[in-house]
Structures are given as structure tokens and as C-alpha cells.
Chains A and B, each alone.
Chain A
Amino acid sequence: MDKFYTDNFLARWMNNELSEEELQEFRDSPDYMSFQNIVEQMEGAEYPDVDENESWRSMQTLIQKAPPKKTKVRQMYTWVSAVAAVFIIAFVFLLSSDAEHLETASAEHKKFTFPCGSIVELNAESQIEYEKGDWDEKRSLNLSGEAYFKVSPGSEFSVHSKHGTVKVLGTAFNISDRKERFEVDCYEGKVSVESPSFEAQILEKGDGVFFANGELNEREVKEIPDWMNGESSFYNTDIVLVIDELERQFGIEVKGEEKVNGTQFSGRFMHDELEKAAKTIFEPLDIPYSFDKNGDIVIQLE
């Protein structure tokens, strides 16, 4: 009885994901009709009406007043008029008028070259943001997710992520900051890692650190990050993070991952074949799973 009211049961019901048995049991429960009434009532619900054509016409007026900016360099002498324009249009512009944004979707890697010649390669579902205007003086960016950097010599280059900051002069390094795990690996030169969670670290070529479960650990690194070679590797990593990476690299969903919470995984999977990757992760851990009709994975553990 109580199980109807926990976790995601009702979400699965609304999405027609319940098994025959679950559905039968739910239908027999005294509250079933109350839920059913709400869902049926919602079927007729609509937002207040908006005239879409009228909406587009007023949008059209707005954009025709502001011809698209195709040039990428903002000249200093236009500064005054730019300020005026900002006041006229909207204050939201003030916040990020010169911010550059780059992101990857699931199953996508992307390579990008900065004005100084430094290179970033983004792993799946990651993003960076930086101020373009004064890039040469201040090479600083925000990262969420995972990325590999090859930094050409010049002023200090810093990467800020949720758990810390990595600063270098010229080098190659990889950062991953996902959920509660923060990893930095140095592939060339030297990098310094600062974080409120642990003492500042200097990494030299071949050094790597990862911060997880409140502890900082060291590890050795290879030539380039594995994900750039089309595989993902893990060392004593919570299975939930491994599953997240599987979802990101193949753009699928894994259902029931809460059932295996707490398991640790060390190993790797390739990004070429989902079946093979799933086998590599789940078989050694004796986790039964299957594929549903959408190609998503369902963990079968009771």
C-alpha cells in the first residue's frame, strides 16, 4: 500500500511504465480514483490563450529595430553607443554581453580553439563560458562537466569549476567536475589546483588527483585522457557516476540505478557499442539488466 506513495511510483504510473501487476494492485487501491480524477481533469487543461501570430508580429518589430550583429570584434569607439543600446533594449544584456558559451550534448565531443591558440576539447554534456573581450589579458573560464585543455604559453590560464580552480601558464591538462567528484590530470608542464575542500596541489606531468567522498587521492596518468580515445575509465568510482557517463556517451537512460547505489567500479568501457559497454560495466558486478523498446537500459535487480 505504502509503496504507491514513495519514490517515483506515481511518475511511472503517469508515464505508463508500471508493470501489469503493479497497475492491477494500484487500481484496486482505495485512492486510485482520486489520482485518476486529477489526471483526467488535467487532460482538458490549457494555458490562457495567446495569439501566436500576433506574438510573432511584435517579436518581428523588435528584431527589425536591432539588425543582427555579424561582426565579432567590438570596436572601442562604439562603446558609448553600445551602452546606450544596452539601456534601451534590456538590463539582461548587462550581465553577459560579451560572454562566450560552448557546450556539448550527450554523445557529443567538441574541440575549440581560443584566440590565443589554446585548445579545449569538451567531453559529452559539458560546458564552458568565458569573457571574450579581454581574453588576451585574462585567460579565465568557467567549466562544468569534463574537458581537456592544451594551453599555449602566455598569461595565466585559469579554469574555475564547482569544486576548485586550476591555474597554469602553458601546459595540457584534463578536468572533470561532475556531481561530487572532482578530478584533475596533468599531461604536460605544471598546474596548480586550488579548492576550498583541500590543500593547494602542484601537479607535474604524469600526476593526477581526484577528490571524492571528502578525500583527496593521487593517481598516475597516461599520454592523453581515455575519453579522447573513445573510452571512459574509472578507478574506485561510485557506480552512479559510471552510469551517468554511460548515459552521456550514448545518449540513453538507465532506469533503476538507485538499486545499485553504493557499489564501486574500476574499469573502462568503449564508446562505440552500447551493448558491449553495458556488458563491461554490469557483468563483472553481477548486476542483471535488459534493454527496453526505446533502447534504454533497465536494471533488473530486486
Chain B
Amino acid sequence: MNRNSENLCEEMVFEQVYKGHSKMIRNYIYSLCGNMNKAEDLCQDAFLKLWNNCAKVPLNNAKAFLFRVVKNAFYNMAEHDKVVLKFLSANKNRLNEQDPEYILREKQFQEKLNTAINNLGEKERVVFLMNRIDNKKYREIAELLDISIKTVEKRMHDALLYLKNELGNYKL
């Protein structure tokens, strides 16, 4: 309850909320459209809307509010480009491998994986990336996207299965 008495209309409080949630929201839109500039714009639009409603939105509802706004704004956009996500991906577990052939294979694998993720269904992709890159728990994802935990699990399962089938038995 105490947290609720903090006012979103105070710039310092707002700044904390921004720094706490903007990355996650930006990444969410990025996982939908693959364009970081667009993701940043929509994210800031959503925060601006939160700012304009700062007197009405309780602090502990801010995250849900932002997600709802940004999701609506994204789906209301007229044109949706083909998704081209690009991940920086260095496999930390294998960094000390020196074999050039191995490094090449890994690079190819990374590219194939990147392409496969782009081809994933949008719903599966969003959930998979939130869990794998943003490290959100299934329950948190369910809350943010307003779906059940079972749906999240199904999408995670389907995502990994799809990726595995796309990549085949590519040997590293």
C-alpha cells in the first residue's frame, strides 16, 4: 500500500518506473516487429500516455497499463513489416573454443537459429524471447500478456519444437 502513495506524477518516481520497465516493453515490441526504432517510439508513446494519466493509474498497475497501451498501439498500426530480428549471440559456454572450424560452425548455427526465430509464429516468438532473453518466469509472462500459464507453457513447448525441426539435427 505504501508504494501506492508514491505518485507517478513526480518525475523521480516516473523515472524509476521508466528505468524499471522500458527495456522490457521495448524488447516486447522488438520481438513483434524486429525494428528497434519503432519499438522505442511505441514504448515512449506508452510512457507518455502513462504520464498523462499519472494521477489516475496506481503505481502497482503501471506495468499492466503500459503493456495494454503498447500492445493496442502496435496492433493498431496500419502496416506491419516482415520481421527481421537480429540477435547478438555469443555462446558464453563455448567462448574458449579456439578451433576455427568450430567457430565457423557455431556462427552458421547462430545464423540459422536467428532465421528460424524470425520464422516462428508471432505468439510463440514473443513468449520464447521473453523467457529466454528477458528471463521472465512463465507466470510473469502470463500476467503481462494476459494469458494463462498453460498457454505460455504450450507456446514455449511449440517454439522450441519448431526451432529444433527448422534447424534439423545440425551438429555443433
Contacts and interface: CB of A to CB of B under 8 A. Distances in A.
Verify that A and B bind, or say they do not: yes
Contact of A56 (B18, B49, B167, B168): B18
A11 B87 CA distance: 22
Interface in B39-84: 40, 44-45, 47-49, 51-57, 60-61, 64-65, 69, 72-73, 76
B26 A50 contact: yes
Contact of A103 (B64, B153, B163): B64
Interface of B: prevailing SS: helix
Contacts of A70: 9, 55
A62 B14 CA distance: 13
B22 interface: yes
Contact of B44 (A31, A35, A62, A69): A62
Interface string A54-87: 0110111011001011101000000000000000
Contacts of B56: 72, 100-101
A47 B19 contact: no
Given A11-B153, A43-B93, A45-B133, A68 B161 contact: no
A245 to B, nearest CB: 13
A93 B69 CA distance: 10
B164 A40 contact: no
Interface of A: prevailing SS: helix
Nearest to A296: B139
Contact of B45 (A68, A92, A100): A92
Contact of B49 (A8, A41, A50, A92): A92
Nearest to A63: B51
Interface in B122-169: 131-133, 138-139, 149-150, 152-157, 160-161, 163-164, 167-169
B93 A56 contact: no
B115 interface: no
A253 interface: yes
B15 A56 contact: yes
B96 interface: no
A46 B129 CA distance: 10
A8 B154 contact: yes
A257 B151 CA distance: 13
B3 to A, nearest CB: 13
A216 interface: no
Contact of B157 (A8, A48, A60): A8
A38 B154 contact: no
A58 B110 CA distance: 33
Interface of A: 5, 7-12, 14-15, 31, 33-35, 37-50, 52, 55-56, 58-60, 62-63, 66, 68-70, 72, 89-90, 92-93, 95, 100-101, 103, 105, 253, 257-258
19 contacts: A8-B150, A8-B153, A10-B157, A11-B154, A37-B109, A39-B132, A41-B91, A43-B93, A46-B89, A47-B133, A48-B30, A63-B48, A66-B48, A92-B49, A92-B73, A101-B56, A103-B61, A253-B139, A257-B150
Given A55-B44, A92-B73, 4 more contacts: A12-B153, A50-B26, A55-B26, A62-B51
